[in-house]
Structure 1
């Protein structure tokens, strides 16, 4: 077996853990896999050996085989950058029905394109409402249900805070950036001018003066995506309104890395902000985008460079 693989595995696990993943099971699996390669006299990772190892357990579901191969594939992609001899197993070699769709992480350019597309909606109140909804979710990471469930009295302009009713009846108080506060107060002023006779308690309202409903929310967002030219990456990674929450989480952690902050200290704060009981609930949102992985790798390389040799 290539003597460099254990070192690559060590670096791979460090970078992933820097992103908040614990990886106890993954570390054990990949260590066993490297031991298997050694027993087989393999010089590097091959598709044949990866498939044989992944499907070795008997009496288990095909999904478990697929999960084992997926863990190997992720590591193989990492190792290939250092050793081109490494073979990366195809993504669908052992298909398993995913439990969730892969999140779509919007770029800043795409968010701006969605805001511009929302401005083209008619009537004007509809355009203003959807512009505000997208901007609010992008800036705060609210769940879709939390955003459309907001009432006007949840906004405290004097204190610059927003009271959010989350899952299971839990509430949290979010301090608002001045730009977000200005956007919400500006929206309320426009709303009062466009629909002066409406007395709906909802913060975000439809063109009929009622609270936004999911039944009309998603068709309108689909129109916005088309206008903005944003298309699915694959059949399992399609842009959704909810993905603004994923984007917020990833952007927050990226900012932490780039500003030199401690990601381990930022994660619990992000978790509380997003309404999660435990930081582990936030891990799903920290999708390993290329930018986030690169930032984590740079931080790891920097910290290792400072260690005396």
Structure 2
């Protein structure tokens, strides 16, 4: 049996169960790695280890890949399609968990201001880097979601985004402020002078912007602003951390305003496009400032005081 046939059969099975299986990209990637003509007999422990190792240093991705392959081979074993499993019995020690960087308000203002006037982002229209960063932060978007936005997804009259190409295949509506609408209107006005443009953010050549290019632009902007980590973490602040910063800042604001955070947390989860509430609850312990606000709220409650 061809490996690709097993992969197609396995993914169809998971989808038939009504699952949004979050790790189906791993079997697909393994199929590409082995080649379309590879049979199940061609898969060896050595080829599996080569796929898992990739080209860089060990990261959490190694374990994510292994989990995806385990599911694939459990399916194959249960149906008698394979007799042995070529997966490693021992796993390397997991690297330290990735810690998102939470930008301070001063750092955000520095980034937004600097992005307004950059002249080196040549594959973006003037001002679009500024608009992109504002939208990612204020709407809590993933970078992939922003890049996938089409013109029809940006409701300027209603101040609502329709996020369709989300990480978990869910469509959600995300409101944005009238102030941001004014900035996005300039993009739509530019499109009206151009026929046949579907993506909302495009290069001067009319193509959808590229994730890799946007990440590189942000890295240069961050360096120009002098923003760096001082906590010994492996990764420098990323553009995706704007989304994490939005969530933490929103929670901090709710605590300070005396709002019922536990009641509002599910709403934030939907806003961010999380599948499980626990993915949003992680933000509750992400910064000392937020932990301090939560602790103060609990102390007031425990001592019979108010939430002010």
Q: TM-score, normalised by structure 2?
A: 0.63
3-state SS of 1:115 partner: helix
Residues 103, 287 of structure 1: 8 Å contact kept: no
1:161 paired to 2:132: no
Alignment of 1:31-70 (within 5 A): none
Aligned-pair RMSD on alpha carbons?
2.3
Higher relative contact order (CA closer than 8 Å, sequence separation 6+): 1
Quick one: which of 263, 270, 273 aligns to 1:272? 270
Task: Name the stretch that deviates more: 101-110 or 158-167.
Answer: 158-167
Q: Return 5+ residue gaps in structure 2 as ranges.
A: 1-92
Q: In the TM superposition, what whole-angstrom CA distance separates every residue of 1:97-122 from its partner, at most 9, and x where no partner exists?
A: 43642100011111111112222322
Q: TM-score, normalised by structure 1?
A: 0.62
Q: In the TM superposition, what whole-angstrom CA distance separates every residue of 1:9-38 from its partner, at most 9, and x where no partner exists?
A: xxxxxxxxxxxxxxxxxxxxxxxxxxxxxx
Residue of structure 2 in register with 1:258 after alignment:
256
Change (3 A) 1:255 1:173: same
Residues 284, 291 of structure 2: 8 Å contact kept: no
Q: In the TM superposition, what whole-angstrom CA distance separates every residue of 1:126-150 from its partner, at most 9, and x where no partner exists?
A: 4411111100011011111001110
CA drift of 1:124 comes to: 9.6
Quick one: which of 203, 207, 231 aligns to 1:206? 203
Residues 115, 221 of structure 2: 8 Å contact kept: yes
3-state SS of 2:107 partner: helix
Alignment of 1:163-202 (within 5 A): 163-165=162-164, 166-189=166-189, 191-192=190-191, 196-197=193-194, 199-202=196-199
Residue of structure 2 in register with 1:56 after alignment:
none
Residues 151, 198 of structure 2: 8 Å contact kept: yes
1:231 paired to 2:228: yes
* Matched pairs, number: 210
Change (3 A) 1:293 1:237: farther
Residue of structure 2 in register with 1:241 after alignment:
239
Give the ranges of 4+ consecutive aligned residues of structure 1 lying more than 4 Å apart after TM superposition.
none
> What is the rounded CA distance, in whole Å, between the counterparts of 1:176 and 1:239 in structure 2?
24
Q: In the TM superposition, what whole-angstrom CA distance separates every residue of 1:44-89 from its partner, at most 9, and x where no partner exists?
A: xxxxxxxxxxxxxxxxxxxxxxxxxxxxxxxxxxxxxxxxxxxxxx
CA drift of 1:285 comes to: 3.8
Residue of structure 2 in register with 1:218 after alignment:
215
Q: Return 5+ residue gaps in structure 1 as ranges.
A: 1-95
CA drift of 1:164 comes to: 0.3
Residue of structure 1 in register with 2:23 after alignment:
none
